[in-house]
Amino acid sequence: MLNKRQQFGKESESLAVRHLKKNGYKILEQNYRNKLGEIDIIAKEKGTLVFVEVKARRSDLFGNPKGAVTPKKQRKISMVALYYLKATKQTRAKARFDVISISSAQDNPRIEIVKNAFELAYG
């Protein structure tokens, strides 16, 4: 049984997947996990491998959701992405990091795809 926060997260990720598909992305993985962490969505868009972080807020009280992808979170996602690329023998693939920002104002969520939201970050 999911709590309210987990349910909101699951619904937000489903919304993000639908939005990505509508915008021409092909979904390869959802909730990809390895020993280093998790990536919400791995997709392909026009020949580019895209690692997608989904950030959703019920309101803007704590700021825009895309601001929640901190440098620490970027490093974590980068490490998981590098592991994925090595594990799938795609180290030469063209890749980028996108963030899906969802601001849920009741039944009318605002969804924004931030392409190239950050660069590979490690160290």
Show the domain range for 70: 4-118
How confident is residue 44, by pLDDT bands cut at 50, 70 and 90? very high
**pTM recorded for the entire structure:** 0.91
Give dist(CA 20, CA 90) in Å, integer.
22
Q: Look at the block and give the residue holding tokens 């590098």.
A: 82
Residue 56 lies in a domain: yes
Query: Residues 101, 65: contact at Cβ < 8 Å?
Result: yes
What is the chain's Cα-based Rg? 14
> Parallel, antiparallel, or unpaired: how do β-strands 95-103 and 48-57 relate?
parallel
Tell whether the model's pLDDT for residue 89 goes beyond 80.
yes
Residues contacting residue 47 through CB under 8 Å, at least 6 positions apart: 94
Give the pLDDT band (50/70/90) at residue 37.
Answer: very high
- Report yes or no: 110 and 102 within 8 Å, Cβ to Cβ: yes
Identify whether 100 is part of a domain: yes
Residue 123 lies in a domain: no
Mean pLDDT of the chain, nearest integer: 89
Percent of the chain with pLDDT over 70: 90
Please tell me the distance from the alpha carbon of residue 30 to that of residue 33, in angstroms, as a whole number: 9
CATH code, domain carrying 113: 3.40.1350.10
Q: 1 pLDDT exceeds 80? A: no
Report the alpha-carbon distance of residue 7 to residue 1 in Å, rounded: 9
pLDDT at residue 122, as a whole number: 67
**Number of structural domains in the chain:** 1
Side-chain-side CA neighbours of 13 within 13 Å: the count stands at 17
- For residue 28, report the phi and psi dihedrals to the nearest 5 degrees: -100, -40
